[in-house]
Amino acid sequence: MVLFLSAVSFVAGHTFVVLVDEEDRRYFKQQEIILWRKAPGKLRKQRTNFHLTSDLNPQTHSLPCDFHSERMLWLFFFLVTAVRAELCQPDAENAFKVRLSIRTALGDKAYVWDTNEEYLFRAMVAFSMRKVPNRETTEISHVLLCNVTQRVSFWFVVTDPSKNHTLPADEVQSAIRMNRNRINNVFFLNDQTLEFLKIPSTLAPPTDPSVPIWIIIFGVIFCVVIVATTLLILSGIRQRRRQNKESSEVDDAEDKLENMGTIANSIPCDSLNMKGGHVNDGFMTEDERLTPL
């Protein structure tokens, strides 16, 4: 059975692979793959270097020898993407899942996640990898994305220049962690809305001032209270001393008056006109001051 491959290529999402057999029967298959369309020149060059391994993708069909070169082209496309898709798969080795919550973070200002954004993401990952020693030659093409969902979540791997193996997870993880902030800022997101599952975010250490702030304020208020208390006590003591002095003065004055003679309305009695008076003996004398009860 000769099978033609007639594939409609999408950048992302779903691909309909339509298999047309020699009797023009069309078999539709929906397949989630990512196809890269290379410039035709590059592709011809690659064809000569490309190794075909038939057991990589179970969906690879065995091909008869006499197919059209155009079909070969598409076949190579398919296989290239199949190999690549194999490297990047959910739960593949050294693959990381990324989850974005753009609408949660930005609300009305949310942008649509399209291929350009993916390109930017791949660029950021490549940039992070380039900062790792020994990996300065990482290109954007080495970063593979797959399984993009509507959630906006996808998996990615970083391959080495030969595109056969993926870079170890630790290197990728440390690279991402070092540049996490910059990656977040590029997408206007933060650690919670741009999640790299399995890459824990470094928690920001709390800023501890050398002297706790509360002690400073406590010290200020304590001093104010002490000063106010001291002032009040001192003024109270002064007031009492003045009162004591006054009352002792009054005492002295009263004693003086007693000796002088009695005073009525602060007028010494002696100055009053006492003539023409008789002492009335009917009343008590000075000695008996108080009548008994």
Please give the residue ranges that form the binding site for other proteins (CB under 8 A). 99-104, 110, 149-153, 200, 202-203, 205-206, 213-215, 217-218, 221-222, 225-226, 228-229, 232-233, 236-237, 240, 254, 257, 261-265, 269, 272, 274, 277-280, 282-284, 286, 289-291, 293
**Would you say 8 or 290 has its CB closer to other proteins?**
290
**CA 157/CA 93 separation, integer angstroms:** 9
For other proteins, the closer of residues 65 and 274 by Cβ is 274
> Whose CA is closest to 127, among 183, 174, 74, 187?
183
CB of 55 to other proteins, least distance (A): 30
Question: CA-CA distance, 212 to 33, in Å (whole number)?
Answer: 57
Q: What whole-number distance in Å separates Cα of residue 133 and Cα of residue 136?
A: 6
Name the residue nearer to other proteins (CB basis): 2 or 225.
225
Q: Closest separation between CB of residue 2 and other proteins, Å?
A: 39
Closer to other proteins by Cβ: residue 36 or 222: 222
Q: Which is nearer to other proteins, 141 or 262 (CB)?
A: 262
Cβ at position 33, least distance to other proteins in Å: 18
Nearest to 53 by CA among 80, 21, 27, 77: 80
Please give the backbone phi and psi of residue 30, each rounded to the nearest 5 degrees, phi first: -95, 125
Label the pairing between strands 143-146 and 26-32.
unpaired
Q: Which residues of 242-254 are buried (b: 16+ CB within 10 A; e: fewer)?
A: eeeeeeeeeeeee
Written as six digits, the tokens of 56 are 């990589």
**Hey, what are 292's tokens?**
């008994």
Closer residue to other proteins, CB minimum distance, 141 or 149: 149
Work out how close the CB of 124 gets to other proteins at its nearest, in angstroms, rounded to a whole number: 20
Smallest distance, other proteins to C-beta of residue 208, A: 10
Q: How many other C-beta atoms are found inside a 10 Å radius of the C-beta of residue 228?
A: 10
Compute the radius of gyration of the chain from its Cα atoms.
50
- Residue closer to other proteins, measured from CB, 8 or 213: 213
Nearer to other proteins, 28 or 214 (CB): 214
Residue 101's CB is within 10 A of a number of other CB atoms, namely 17
Q: Are 102 and 185 spatial neighbours (Cβ–Cβ below 8 Å)?
A: no
Please state the closest distance from residue 231 (CB atom) to other proteins, in A. 10
CA 55, CA 204: separation in Å to the nearest integer?
48
Considering the complex, what minimum distance in angstroms separates the CB of residue 198 from other proteins? Answer: 14
Q: Return the residue matching tokens 């003024």.
A: 235
Closest approach, Cβ 63 to other proteins, in A, equals 35
Nearest residue to 266 (alpha-carbon basis) of 276, 253, 279, 277 = 253
